[in-house]
Structure 1
């Protein structure tokens, strides 16, 4: 079978397409899955580019979607022919957060899903929404679930809330779609007028080009009548967090998801305290939350936005598109 391996010392030029032995039949409690698609996430990029160190020979990609080919003894949740998608934290099945590292995250601490066939525990997967392609399903496990947890699980999103979404990457577009499906008003920021118009087509109520309006938090408060937003989907990190705090309503919620602008910086703690806002860090979610997200999609009819798809052999080209930030929504590998 074909797979991608990260060759020492890492980097996009050291992603090698290799032939590996077939992993064989599923053992007790396992399923054999023929993988048909991956989706690219920022975490995958950090590992593949060598910015986060993984073991030599690691198979990358945390998100894998495909078809069950064989079911091991004791497995009742799945059968041959079922379409499934992987879980980012395969050992976090339920309950409150219990992991703060990537030691068991596929594509980082353990081998991932840039491979044609895998044999893994059945509990490392969930079913996919009705009618989803494999590429669409692969977007759910990291980006989709992160947005779902940010707004619904942690944020208790309600109809009539206002949501500020930063940028037009995978998590942000999912957040826009989830918020609109649940009756919220959404403000989207971006440096591209073209991308903002695409966000408008998905239902965004207000658009802010942060290059044209560097003090975008002032505009957010104008758009909300001085009140501020109920939720901020914060993907920038220290470079954008001060304006996110300035944008949030009293008693509002900031979901700290990304660190695109760095790993540390100054936080206006007095303003955060005055706003009496909740700043919640999060990394993806549990298997139970993924199942709940899938059930919700089957009701609200959300469909992921995929900018471009690449073959497995073209994985480096896919990551370079991601690196350049020219995509809108998700990028997938379809094989």
Structure 2
């Protein structure tokens, strides 16, 4: 009977989220900072998706991947930031067990999806620059739609495995998650049962979901750079590099912060430092991606100017 009561108690768990800072004087400045970030993120990502849908000359695989990336960034920031904003205002940053598991599930989906979408975009640039004559065949509707679908299917699989094994862990008291959202590593520190399988899964999936996309990106850009160096005209080389520069910037920021968080020894200090890197890949990167692509991509800039000009004409 006592064992049954203990198990029932373990299933009725709530958590405190430690948040970014415990200093009360920082709560409102952080609230206004992140609400500003969220407004820019939502507007820029939904704006990018709308721009691609409305501009017929952007209807090609490169921009379909970009619209998928914008959707992922919008969803990822929405999973994290609104709950964080409530915590800044309320002071008591409680999250229920079901809400915590749901947040973890969707964060993994969109985090993994971003990794493989960036890899797919690198492969798309490789085909466009290194094999331009075969681009329409290699990146046909069936192939790029299958790549996008495969990204989401594998992301859901990864999230289901991680969350499924996390649900099996017992959390037997109201405890503090040393983070501003429900993440794998901070949750495992509060476990009251064996976590060896979970740690092994983090190592396997973390290595796979970071290393495989990075290897794809590196191999794609090695071939791209070699191909660009063979272009004789300076203008041709500059144009080829400009189509890749925005993607390289997005890759460097996202994978740098994600690797810092998940591919290092776990300790109290590294967990506190991990909050800073988490801010980059959960809030800053989703805001920066559409801005990077719109400012450094002539096609996107031209499409935006065309739509703004058309809207002014109607007014």
Band of TM-score, shorter chain? under 0.3
Higher CA-based Rg:
2
TM-score, structure 2 length as denominator?
0.26
- TM-score by length of structure 1 reads 0.25
Q: Greater helix share, 1 or 2?
A: 2
The structure with the greater share of residues assigned to strand is 1
